[in-house]
Amino acid sequence: MGEQQASTGPGPVVPDTGSGSGKRRLGVMGGTFDPIHHGHLVAASEVAALFHLDEVVFVPTGTPWQKSQRAVSPAEDRYLMTVIATASNPQFSVSRIDIDRGGATYTIDTLRDLRTLNDDADLFFITGADALSQILSWRDHEELFALAHFIGVTRPGHDLTDDGLPKGGVSLVEVPALAISSTDCRDRVGKGDPVWYLVPDGVVRYIDKRQLYRGE
Ligand SMILES: Nc1ncnc2c1ncn2[C@@H]1O[C@H](COP(=O)(O)OP(=O)(O)OP(=O)(O)O)[C@@H](O)[C@H]1O
Ligand SMILES: O=C(O)c1ccc[n+]([C@@H]2O[C@H](COP(=O)([O-])O)[C@@H](O)[C@H]2O)c1
């Protein structure tokens, strides 16, 4: 980690992590992506630029245990939408590790597996303000910060804070505000409203082709 401070606009100040170990810098964007939308993509792109990441790997959840109150779309549909949305960006990739592991998805497993697969890399886990505020409820949360540096990004309607989280383990970053959620996209499709420009064009087509979210 470098020692300079990089301001990200009117929001929080983050440490400049642009220099340091000389290792590959791998961003990790975990999510249910049901569906993936431009809020996810802008957050990943912005963090990649600010933190000089070599790559961002999107990791769709297998079974997101904290979303068990609703039916989540099949993992293969969420995986394919994530591939479609990220395909044109050479810096973005998609991993199946959480889907293929089976069972409930825990970030501790995601990060352990990614560390094993990428022992030449420093990991940066990207999370929105809403998810960051829930981290203390995640499995083995006290061990997460040794595996990756966490980057919390602003999200309209949510306070971005690192209260209660380990000092130095988390950076807070202001990203362009996109008030988009997967919930809203699903609701819109269910009502017959358009989701053009909220999600990538290919994802609009895929939702239509697979008739996702019609009954919601
Ligand atoms: N508009 C957004 N701006 C910034 N971060 C976001 C945005 N939408 C989602 N994220 C972050 O992306 C990650 C994955 O989010 P997820 O796939 O659960 O999408 P979601 O829109 O929050 O879904 P849902 O509405 O179904 O809860 C989380 O860390 C979340 O905080
Ligand atoms: O590890 C946990 O216990 C845990 C609990 C809830 C969410 N997460 C992770 O947080 C990321 C965003 O999750 P979600 O449910 O908001 O899409 C995703 O990578 C999840 O695996 C992780």
**Residue 117 forms part of a structural domain:** yes
Ligand 2 centroid to 31 CA: how many Å?
Answer: 6
Ligand 1 centroid to 92 CA: how many Å?
Answer: 17
Q: Which of 67-71, 83-87, 207-211 has the lowest mean pLDDT?
A: 67-71
Over residues 75-96, mean pLDDT: 98
Instruction: Tell me the C-alpha distance between 132 and 152, whole Å.
Output: 6
**Residue 132 forms part of a structural domain:** yes
Q: For residue 117, what are the CA distances in angstroms to 86, 111, 208?
A: 21, 10, 35
Range of the domain at 88: 22-179
**Residue 191 forms part of a structural domain:** no
pLDDT digits over 2-57, tens only? 333 333 433 333 444 545 678 999 999 999 999 999 999 999 999 999 999 999 99
pLDDT digits over 199-210, tens only? 999 999 999 999
Which CATH number characterizes residue 26's domain? Answer: 3.40.50.620
Domain count, the chain: 1
Q: Could you tell me if the CB of 149 is within 6 A of ligand 1? A: no
**Residue 206 forms part of a structural domain:** no
**Residue 196 forms part of a structural domain:** no
User: What is the model's pLDDT at position 12?
Assistant: 39
**Residue 13 forms part of a structural domain:** no
User: What is the model's pLDDT at position 175?
Assistant: 98
Ligand nearest to the CA of 186: 1
What 3-state DSSP class applies to 146? helix
- 3-11 CB contacts, 8 Å cutoff, 24+ apart: 6/50, 8/50, 8/173, 8/174, 9/174, 10/174, 11/154, 11/160, 11/172, 11/173, 11/174
Instruction: Please identify, by atom number, the ligand 2 atom nearest to the C-alpha of residue 32.
Output: 17
Ligand 2 centroid to 52 CA: how many Å?
Answer: 24
Expressed in percent and rounded to 5, the helix, strand and coil fractions of the chain are 35, 20, 45
- How does the average pLDDT of the chain come out, rounded? 91
User: What is the model's pLDDT at position 20?
Assistant: 66
Instruction: Tell me the C-alpha distance between 159 and 96, whole Å.
Output: 30
**Residue 10 forms part of a structural domain:** no
Q: Which of 10-19, 123-132, 193-202 has the lowest mean pLDDT?
A: 10-19
135 touches 170 (CB < 8 A) = no
- Which residue's C-alpha comes closest to atom 23 of ligand 1? 182
Ligand nearest to the CA of 101: 2
With a Cβ cut-off of 6 Å, ligand 2 is lined by 30-32, 61, 64, 66-67, 105-108, 131, 138-139
Q: Which of 4-18, 105-119, 191-205 has the lowest mean pLDDT?
A: 4-18
5 touches 16 (CB < 8 A) = yes
- Which residue's C-alpha comes closest to atom 5 of ligand 2? 138
Ligand 1 centroid to 127 CA: how many Å?
Answer: 8
Q: Could you tell me if the CB of 188 is within 6 A of ligand 1? A: no
**Residue 213 forms part of a structural domain:** no
